[in-house]
Amino acid sequence: MSNPKLLEVCNLRVEFPTRRGTLVAVDDVSLDISAGEVLGVVGESGAGKSMTGSAIIGLLEPPGRIAGGEIRLEGRRIDNLPYTEMRKIRGRQIGAIFQDPLTSLNPLYTIGDQLIETILTHLPLSHAQARDRAVKLLEDVGIPSASERISHYPHQFSGGMRQRVVIALALAAEPKLIIADEPTTALDVSIQAQIIALLKRLCREHGTAVMLVTHDMGVIAETADRVAVMYAGRIAEIGPVQDVIKRPHHPYTIGLMGAIPTMTHKVERLTQIDGSMPRLNAIPKGCAFNPRCPKVFDRCYRDRPDPMPAGSGLAACWLVEEKAHV
């Protein structure tokens, strides 16, 4: 392929050893992101989407650990790097935006201090140059009177403004990839629209790739180029965003799309997927979706499907293979 992959994740497996046995939070996940691309990762709580993000950036909370697979950034393996090496990559090559902008900023330092520290850690600049860059970044993310605001503390900002500061921090060292974990979930809908527009604009201008982790399909539809739908630690379906939304192949994706209330047409009842996602200690044998699947058949209880070509993407469902044979 002519377009080199920026990030490649192959067969990633994340485990949590507990007293009652090992829980597999992410199981055999493979995905890739090209330079400048926005990959949406969507799923319900406990699907493993945030875990995948944390594993890539090397911030898995112990006892969680990467138990298998490879993560490559521009062809270089980063999943087995020592802590100090990973620190150099984090921030410089991979930036991060988390859900709650209040907890990702240190309340005891001004936002200027935090921005300048990040810039000085990663870029060969003097303190004065770093400060200029920090002001420039704050202007870039749409914070009014940035040169005054730079000496303010996080509590003096509103939620939306704080998230702008966090985006400025993530962009401070011009990383090639940003992992954005539910960046707009804590925000009101009008502020959410502002932040999404900002993120899209900045990534286009800087050519930054984004892995956008969210449970909100609407945000994905607006922002992402491709989308990976996760279920019970595995990828159920991955493909171009329009195809996955309009012509989903996996029964879980089909159910998920029908379960979202829309404003374009009023329906009496929403499509309902009965039951809920299995807990990590009780993932069914075969396809993890089999207890809830309306189209389940005997093979689903026996064998676990891997993602296979379906339309323009991949779907992990035996039905896809059945259809191909017919």
Partner 1 sequence: MSKSNVPMLTVTGLKRVFDVSAPWLNRVLERKPRTFVRAVDGVGFSIDKGETFSLVGESGCGKSTVARLIVGLYEPTEGSISFEGVEIGPAAERAKHPDIQGRMQMIFQDPYASLNPRWRVGDIIAEPIRFRRLLKDKKALDDRVAALLTQVGLSPVDAAKYPHEFSGGQRQRISIARALAGEPEFLVCDEPTSALDVSVQAQILNLMKDLQRKLGLTYLFISHNLAVVYHVSDKVGVMYLGRLVEWADTQTLFNRPQHPYTRMLLDAIPDLDMSGRARVPVAGEVPSPLNPPPGCSFHPRCPFANERCKREVPKAIPVPGGAVACHAVEEGRLPPWKAQAAA
Can you give the binding site for partner 1, defined by CB under 8 A? 44-45, 158, 160-161, 188-194, 196-197, 215-219, 221-222, 241-242, 245, 255-264, 266-274, 276-277
Q: How far apart are CA 128 and CA 52, in angstroms?
A: 37
Residue whose CB is less far from partner 1, 52 or 223: 223
Cβ at position 160, least distance to partner 1 in Å: 6
Residue whose CB is less far from partner 1, 44 or 132: 44
Q: What angle (nearest 5°) sits at the alpha carbon of residue 213, between those of residues 210 and 216?
A: 120
Residue whose CB is less far from partner 1, 36 or 68: 36
Cβ at position 267, least distance to partner 1 in Å: 7
Q: How far apart are CA 140 and CA 150, in angstroms?
A: 13
Q: How far apart are CA 246 and CA 260, in angstroms?
A: 13
The answer to whether residues 185 and 216 touch, using CB atoms and an 8 Å cutoff, is yes
Residue whose CB is less far from partner 1, 202 or 256: 256
Q: How far apart are CA 70 and CA 76, in angstroms?
A: 10
Query: Residue 72: what residue type?
Result: R
Q: How far apart are CA 39 and CA 226, in angstroms?
A: 5
Residue whose CB is less far from partner 1, 8 or 222: 222
Run of H or E residues at 254: helix 251-259
The answer to whether residues 84 and 95 touch, using CB atoms and an 8 Å cutoff, is no
Q: How far apart are CA 211 and CA 41, in angstroms?
A: 7
The answer to whether residues 238 and 314 touch, using CB atoms and an 8 Å cutoff, is yes
Residue whose CB is less far from partner 1, 86 or 193: 193
